[in-house]
Structure 1
Amino acid sequence: MQSIVKMNEELKIRLFYVLSITAIVANTIGFISNAIIYGFTSITIFTLVCAIIMYIAGIMGMYTKNSKLPSVIILVLGNIIEFPVLYLVYGAYYILYMILGIVSTVLFLEEKWQIIGSLFIFFYDGIVIYIKVMYPHLFAGIEINPNLIAILVTYFIAMISIVMMSIILMKHYRLQQDKLSELANQLQEVAHLDPLTHIYNRRYLVEYLNKKMKIESQKFAVVLLDIDDFKSINDQYGHIYGDQTLQTFSDSMKKNMDNKGIVTRFGGKEFMLVFDDINHEVIEDTLNKVAEEFALYGKQSKGIELSFSGGVEVFYQEDEIVKLFNRADHKLYYAKHTGKKKIVFDIDV
């Protein structure tokens, strides 16, 4: 949950980076082009002031990692002040900036304000356009007729802003998707692990066997294990030692099962091993090593004898998981009731 919250916060900051960088670059280009084409007029100074304010807002957001206020400053400055003023001064060609402003509002304003903000700017721009068209004499003193170069620069700034936003947004989108995919894999892995022993749980075991059973001509062996007299161990030495015993047993199985199959916690004090090889000697040798290490742990930790019993069953085609489990459980039951501390491969009738 914390990872998701962190990712959401990171996404907000990344979106702010896109907004601030695009705004700063576009305003800087606008100022330079105005200075070259028209000289240092009042409108050129105006674009410089807007660029400086946006630069300060961008630095503030990047430094504090809080993008709310800086985003609002940039969007309000652009949509409410700068773009309408440029339209009133230069005319219809600068409607491109107004459209760009509405798009930016939808992309970068917080979700709950997106519709209200974009509608407000839409009607606000509509009123500005209406006043400009219906009362042109009000702006006769400040109006400038842009030449071809100015029009092309306007088009260039609008297009480069759109391209920049698109490229950076797509880059961040792919990055976010990769992080979400990684998080999903981590969550899936956690869902498949037993929290105490950190080996696979029964849920994963069933999924794993279902996939394995679909492979044609697939043969494998399962071994159902049960720690002998585990209740007495818990009662005499406490649950902490009981948990340590389960963890030690799991670690030993994982070590000795390396590249041979998987280790799972079947439930409680029962475990199931899945061997890719059905060779009797491989299975027996692996279990003997686990038995030796487990017995050694019991002697060194509490001076007691620790052992386990088990039942081995081989899977053949057309078998079912439940039947496979039942046969292994039947052999385990036989081992527990005929002296314990043994692994049963076959039951003599």
Structure 2
Amino acid sequence: MFQSILSNLAIILLGHLLMSTLITYRERFSKHLLYIYTVVLFSTVSITMLYLPISFGDYRLDLSLIPLIFLALFRGWKITVPVLFIVSAWHFFMGSDETLSSIVFVLILPTIFTLLLYERKIPTNINLKILFIITACWIISDLPIILFIPNGMEIFKNTFLLRYISFLSVASIYCAFILIGYKNDRLKQRLEFLASHDPLTNLLNRNKFIEIVEVKMKESDTNHYIALLDIDHFKQLNDTHGHLTGDSVLKEISSIFNKYESDNLKVARYGGEEFIIYLKTVYDKQAVRTLEHIQNEIRTTPFHSNNGGSLHVTVSIGLAKFESGSRLYDVIHQADNHLYSAKNENRDQLVVSFD
């Protein structure tokens, strides 16, 4: 019995290692190919476990349901259903006369039950939820003993503890590795975010912005623009209302930028109270109109000061256009010159480099 448990555990952890490797290098695969690899991997693990049952006298317990439970719990319907279909089909064509009841109770019903409890975000009480799901799925999978075997209830009473402990122990170890992997993946994503974003505003930082724009500049079927935006009288605002109010204004302006951000518009904090914007449009008027909308929304937004009052903030903007053969830093320099002109023209202005 223990040898079978260890064999099942080895197979399931090997599958987890391979899945972790796929997740680590997921950027190298297309979404479609990654989906296929995941389906094949989980199907293979579950089918292999069919051939490693745990024996209790004349009765056996296979643990092929466990990968399906966690796949359903953490990945949802889209990827679980094809894996369930493949494993069930294999079980049907390779099984015995009792295969149909095994497929229904051991595979289909527990998996559907788990899918009904699927959540996109991992809840805080995930450990209790997993314990409940594992126990419920084990009970469902053991129902054929009670329903279809003579003296089934007596057999269930004599073996249920060992069967449950075997099922729970393998599932718990697998669960621990999955949760550790999720925590590591979230930590990695957080570190990547911090490396590419400004910590105060959560906008892109300058280096990441330059990296993104240099890629987008290669698209030749549209026009590209760079704008530099500066908050007017920001030093005076800090001196009068305090740096906490200044930080609050930066955050609120960043939230306005987030409304406009898309594949055609990227914003980064350039330094201090200055922001840099990349725009991609077909017509010059579209770029100007978008910046005017942003400028007007900032102008009409009541910002909150640290003492509970409200502030009105304006911004100056310099806009430059990529011309044939332009280098990014040359366009940024040009936008900076126009920003300087806007601030010299009583601020709250938009100055462009084209008609």
TM-score of the aligned structures, taking structure 1 as reference length: 0.48
Structure number having the greater strand percentage: 2
Structure number having the greater helix percentage: 1
Which structure: larger Rg? 1
Bigger relative contact order (CA 8 A; separation at least 6): 1
TM-score of the aligned structures, taking structure 2 as reference length: 0.47
